[in-house]
Amino acid sequence: MTKTQTVEPLVAPDVLERVLAKGRSTGADFSEIYIEDKRSTSAGLDDGKVEQVTSGRDRGAGIRVVSGETTGFAHTSDLSERGLLAAAQAAALAAKQGDGGVHKVQLGDVLRHSVNTVKLSPDVVEKSRKVELLKRVDAAARAVNASIVQVSAGYGDSRKRILIANSNGVFSADEQVRTLLRVSVVATGDGGMQTGYDSLGHTIGFEMFDENDVEELAIRAAKQAVTKLSARPAPSGAMPVVIKRGSGGVLFHEACGHGLEADLVGKSASVYRGKMGELVASPLVTLVDDGTMTAEWGAIGIDDEGHPSQRNTLIKDGVLTDYMWDYLRARKEGRAQSGNGRRQSYQHLPMVRMTNTFVLNGKEDPDDIVRDTKQGVYIAKLGGGQVDTASGDFVFGMAEAYLIENGEITEPLRESNLIGNGPEVLKDIDLLGNDFAMGNPGTCGKDGQGVPVGDGQPTLRVRSLTIGGTAA
């Protein structure tokens, strides 16, 4: 549940009012200021050696001015009134040559909508404790098997304070803390060289490592690599595919979620354009995007336009019920925002983006789903992929997969591709488990910008997907 509280702004309200007024001084109908102050720490370990430990700080403001269909944007690292006014004037001139009149803006108290609780802020934790985590990961992974020849581990944390004010009276702030640990493992043997990977990330503080076992994380990654040393070539062709809980959320994020972003819909770059109210998925499927999920990687108190995060049902019982919206697209369609206006930093314009996107639980026991599949493939972890949002066609790597024979998970398979079409996958889900889980923390790329996102799903079966394997 979100809590609304008054906080001290990064820049004085009277300064913000003057900056917003300057943005509208050329006759524009909307002006906005986004201010960010971000501190971060990262550490990396490779082959048992700590390669680097770095800390950084980045702060600045982005000012957007909208006049009709035209947007002007300028950003600056100078948070003085003089610097902000100069950026506002530049954005205003870029949007429109106008009337030069006075446009007053009045702001109330700045509000913060909190969805996360941080018990131990990472920026007060000694760097030696962060490095020690990496050493523990390295030792645990190498202890799994003598075939482990390389371990790479990375730690990262950030604390970002943001403030958004606009000429419509929005005046909101948020503090976003993220903590991340990742591990990559390489094993060698008769099966050549194989890799394993796992990660852990939440929008909480350093207490994450009191609540999660980092050795277990390392062991999972190492076992993944070792198991693949004895893997057989993957089959090729269309067949039933069972996807383990949490591991396939990225498929729905990429192959379906992007097509439900209103800017892509508006550009006719989405296969879901014009399908509101239609059956676009199996009646088993309810797809949700939820920025309020406490502690999940995509959780935010407000989006990067100052709108409170919220839970949005995109597909309900197979029927398309809504898209995701930012300010510009919502204004154009005369509807409410959905809390999905996001940007990488103050140097970027906001656009429609996902937060935490996932498929809700079904009713089946996950073991029964496997038993009901006589022949097929079980995917324990998906890798990266590509999708064409206009058609829905996608290709994903299978980072960890196994053969299903006579209703049992048997031999591990070598890495290969999973090929399909997003809308067809949604319609071909015929069994949905009751074991929902979120997957690994992710960074979503779109138009050159990356933002943190989460995804997840219960164990499920797709009637038919194409495996691009090499087995005869």
DSSP per-residue codes, 54-66? EEEEEEEEEEEEE
With 80 as the cut, is the pLDDT of residue 193 above it?
yes
260-286 tens-digit pLDDT: 999 999 999 999 999 999 999 999 999
Question: How many angstroms separate the Cα of 50 from the Cα of each of 208, 311, 444?
Answer: 22, 41, 28
- Band (pLDDT 50/70/90 cuts) for residue 106 is low
3-class secondary structure per residue, 398-415: EEEEEEEECCEEEEEECC
Helix count (H) and strand count (E) of the chain? Answer: 10, 24
pLDDT confidence of residue 341? 98
Indicate whether 191 pLDDT > 90: no
Mean pLDDT across the stretch 347-375?
98
In whole angstroms, what is the distance from residue 397 CA to residue 467 CA?
Answer: 10
Alpha-carbon gap, residue 280 to 127, rounded angstroms: 49
Residue 7's pLDDT is 54
pLDDT interval class at 114 (50, 70, 90): confident
**Band of pLDDT at residue 102, cut at 50, 70 and 90:** very low
pLDDT of residue 8: 64
Q: Is the pLDDT of residue 38 over 80?
A: yes
Residues 6+ apart with CB under 8 A from 278: 319, 320
User: What's the predicted TM-score (pTM) here?
Assistant: 0.93
Say what the pLDDT of residue 164 is.
97
Across residues 128-137, what is the average pLDDT? 97
Distance CA 267, CA 57 (A): 36
> Could you report the per-residue pLDDT of 216-252, keeping only the tens digit for each?
999 999 999 999 999 999 999 999 999 999 988 888 8
Over residues 21-41, the mean pLDDT reads 95
**Domain ranges across the chain:** 3-228, 236-468
pLDDT of residue 103: 46
Amino acid 472: pLDDT:
52
Q: Which two tokens stand for residue 138?
A: 């390295």
Share of the chain above pLDDT 70, in %: 96
Q: Stretch 439-461: mean pLDDT, rounded? A: 96
Q: Is residue 134 pLDDT above 90, yes or no?
A: yes
Strands (E), 343-457: 351-352, 356-359, 375-387, 393-405, 408-413, 416-421, 429-432, 437-438, 442-446, 449-457
Cβ neighbours of 244 (radius 10 Å) = 25
CATH architecture of 3-228: 2-Layer Sandwich (3.30)
Name the band, by pLDDT with cuts 50, 70 and 90, for residue 369.
very high
**Which pLDDT value is given to residue 99?**
44
The least confident of 65-69, 103-107, 367-371, 373-377 is: 103-107
